[in-house]
Amino acid sequence: MANEFFNANVVEIKDLWKKFQVYQDKTISLKERIIFWGRQRTEGFWALRNINLSVPKGKTIGLIGRNGSGKSTLLKIISRILYPTQGEVKVRGKLSTLLELGAGFHPDFTGRENIFLNASILGFTRKEIKEKLNDIVEFAELGDFIDNPVRNYSSGMYMRLGFAVAVHVDPDILLIDEVLSVGDLAFQEKCLTRIQDMQKQGKTIILVTHAPKQVEDLCDIAVWLDHGEAKLQGPAQEVAQAYKEFISGA
């Protein structure tokens, strides 16, 4: 039983397909609706085709690929923002998504008040937030600004506060979508350290990026997505290398 627990895949994706309805460039008016009644007015666009992926507990997975390759769509499906058209996704454990920093921040509220708001949107109870409050405040490095309304923040400060909340929530699985480029270099360095700490704690991380270097530095396994298909899937170094060659060749 214990053995099974340690070997368990925390995310399992089987035969996943995702189709988006692509509407024509404008909304359909009543007139057009009547004229084209019953005729198909949208065409499907397959954003993901036949994706199979098992994420073992405690590993870091990199999703790499060019813009529009379906990386973010896959991340959104894992985090249940979108639902698959076909196939299934199984997730075991508490999951947190870093798709947007500072979600739901209210400009008139202070940084401290927004920590409570933001963390509760990420699914945390008041008790959990209170326990983490000091760490979050310290991590954000906002000084006295923490008790000022967020509307007075610079965009870097705003992002830092958002990131501080997001990395202090304590999920089993963390999904990150290209948010590592926040703040100045020193702060980025701090974020990377924080992610490495989480790796040491045995958290599972799924990371979306288009920088092969991040895949090499942070990931164990990588998936290279191209036009919605997994072009290459395997050890991070190998995939990153192949992707680099592809980019420089193209």
Which one of 53, 63, 64, 79 is in contact with another protein (CB under 8 A)?
79
Q: How far apart are CA 78 and CA 83, in angstroms?
A: 9
Q: Which is nearer to another protein, 94 or 213 (CB)?
A: 94
Q: What is the DSSP letter of 224?
A: E
- Choices 101-109, 197-205, 220-228, 238-246 (CB under 8 A): range interacting with another protein: 101-109
Note whether 78 and 175 are within 8 A (CB).
Answer: yes
Q: Which is nearer to another protein, 32 or 108 (CB)?
A: 108
Q: Token pair 């680099």 is at which residue?
A: 244
Q: Is 211 in the site for another protein (CB under 8 A)?
A: no
| Min separation Cβ 122 and another protein, Å | 7
H or E, element range at 136: helix 126-140
- Choices 113-121, 204-212, 224-232, 242-250 (CB under 8 A): range interacting with another protein: 113-121
DSSP 181-221: --SSHHHHHHHHHHHHHHHHTT-EEEEEES-HHHHHHH-SE
Q: Is 121 in the site for another protein (CB under 8 A)?
A: yes
| Min separation Cβ 42 and another protein, Å | 12
Q: Is 196 in the site for another protein (CB under 8 A)?
A: no
Q: Is 20 in the site for another protein (CB under 8 A)?
A: yes
DSSP 40-90: ---EEEEEEEEEEEEEETT-EEEEEE-TTSSHHHHHHHHTTSS--SEEEEE
Which one of 116, 148, 172, 188 is in contact with another protein (CB under 8 A)?
116
Q: Which is nearer to another protein, 57 or 76 (CB)?
A: 76
Q: Residue 157, class by beta-carbon neighbours within 10 Å (0-12 exposed, 13-18 middle, 19+ buried)? A: buried
Interface contacts to another protein, rule CB under 8 A = 20-21, 76, 79-83, 95, 97, 99-100, 103-104, 106, 108-109, 116-117, 120-126, 129
